[in-house]
Amino acid sequence: MNQTMHDFKAGMNMMVNEAPTVMKALDGFMNEVLCNRALDSKTKELIALGMAITASSIIASGFMSIAPCWRV
């Protein structure tokens, strides 16, 4: 899991360097998705975690633990 998350972070950093416009657009999208409107952010995080567990996705569940770290 540690190596997977390390590789994921490295890939995100590469995307920030190689495609900064795309990453800024993704950051804007994620900010809109995570803002508190109909559902608070904790509820959204729990839904995403449940989806990741259901899908048995190591990367997706690990992503939730580092999501704030990759923002531009």
Interval 15-60: pLDDT, tens: 899 999 999 998 888 888 777 788 887 888 888 888 777 776 566 5
Q: Tell me which residue has tokens 């569940």.
A: 61
In order, the DSSP letters of 35-60 are: SSSSS-HHHHHHHHHHHHHHTT-HHH
Q: Whole-prediction pTM value?
A: 0.49
* CA–CA distance, 22 with 47 (Å, rounded to integer): 25
